[in-house]
Amino acid sequence: MKRLLPSPLLSLVLLLTWLLLNQSVEPAQLLLGALLAVVAPLLSRPLQPHGYARIRRPLALLRLLSQASVEVLRSCFNVTRIILFARSEGLNSQFVRIPLDMKSPHGLAMLAAIINLTPGTVWVEILPESNELALHVFDLHDAQWWVDTVKRQYEQPLIEIFGG
Amino acid sequence: MSAPELLPWWVGLPVSLLLVLGGIVALTGCLGLLRLPSFYQRIHGPAITITLGTGCILIASMLYFSALQSRPVIHELLITLFVLLTAPMVSMLLMRAAVYRDQRKRRLPGEAPETGEIYPLSARPADKRAP
């Protein structure tokens, strides 16, 4: 079972993707989708040098994603307000360093996706010597607030979910 | 396809509101691209188009076609999935390309980098320098 389905979640997502693409749940489409869900992860296994991610706490992942969605919405309104009403000379766009404890590549990838999807923040890179994250913030008021928020709101749950 | 006036008002209202909101947000994102002075600021404009703008329009599309065809039409979720998968990569690549370009430009005249900041060039608007 483990050899046939290295990542059950990925297989499930592939099956759902196939069904959504074809907009049907006929047996034939289910069969084709199941075939895709089994074969595609097996064939793409060599492309994943770190292996497939193992999610230890699915509930924590759901909670993190819902929190992140709220944060994305809030930032959307902030950025909209700044673009429409603020004077661009008053904008304090800055790079911020955030020291990270997490080393897991899957956790870092997830963190990068969340941060880049949040309007107003863009991930630059992980500084290799110190494992610090370089982050660009659209309108910076308080660098320490960003450090605390990223560490508490995102990094802690991600360490719980993917391991350090 | 049947005419939109066949839709009941309680579907039409949220659909139109979402479409207008999505349109305004997308326009705002483009406006940011137009008015913000430096590259590092302009990169934040389209992010709201990607998240809130696309989100509103896709939800409106799901509501509209579900009501029109009297069955759940949710394959717009796939568009959401693909946009959410690709957009972060694109902004990260653009950001890194810009940072490395600025770092190289800085290195050429032989200036020593200032300490204390990660990317000291970012403090100046990029457009002030010669292209």
A67-110: pLDDT as tens digits: 999 999 999 999 999 888 887 777 888 888 888 888 888 899 99
CATH topology of domain A58-162: Alpha-Beta Plaits (3.30.70)
| pLDDT on residue A35 | 93
How far from chain centre, in Å, is Cα A45? 20
Partners of A83 on chain B (C-beta within 8 Å) are 28-29, 31-32, 35-36, 45, 48
B25 and A118 within 8 Å at the Cβ level: the answer is no
Residues of chain A with pLDDT > 70: what percent? 99
Domain ranges of chain A: 8-47, 58-162
Cα dist from A54 to A4, A17, A160, whole Å: 16, 20, 11
In sequence order, what are the beta bridge partners of A123?
A: A135
Please identify among residues 30-89 of chain B the ones whose CB lies closer than 8 Å to any CB of chain A.
Answer: 31-32, 35-38, 40-41, 43-45, 47-48, 50-52, 73-75, 77-78, 81, 84-85, 87-89
A122 and B43 within 8 Å at the Cβ level: the answer is yes
Pairing of strands A94-99, A132-137: antiparallel
Would the pLDDT of B123 be above 60? no
Which tokens hold the place of B89?
């990569």
Please state, in angstroms and rounded to a whole number, the distance separating the CA atoms of residues B51 and A79: 12
Q: List Cβ neighbours of B65 (8 Å cut-off, separation of 6 or more).
A: B73
Q: If DSSP codes are grouped into helix, strand and coil, which group holds residue A131?
A: coil
| pLDDT on residue B110 | 52
Concatenated DSSP letters for A29-78?
HHHHHHHHHHHHHHHHGGG-TT-----S-HHHHHHHHHHHHHHHHHHHHH
Please state, in angstroms and rounded to a whole number, the distance separating the CA atoms of residues B45 and B41: 7
pLDDT digits 0-9 by tens, B55-103: 999 999 999 999 888 888 888 999 999 998 999 999 999 998 988 888 7
Tell which phi-psi region holds residue B111, choosing left (phi > 0), alpha (psi between -120 and 50) or beta: beta
Q: If DSSP codes are grouped into helix, strand and coil, which group holds residue B46?
A: helix
pLDDT digits 0-9 by tens, A24-50: 888 999 999 999 999 998 888 888 888
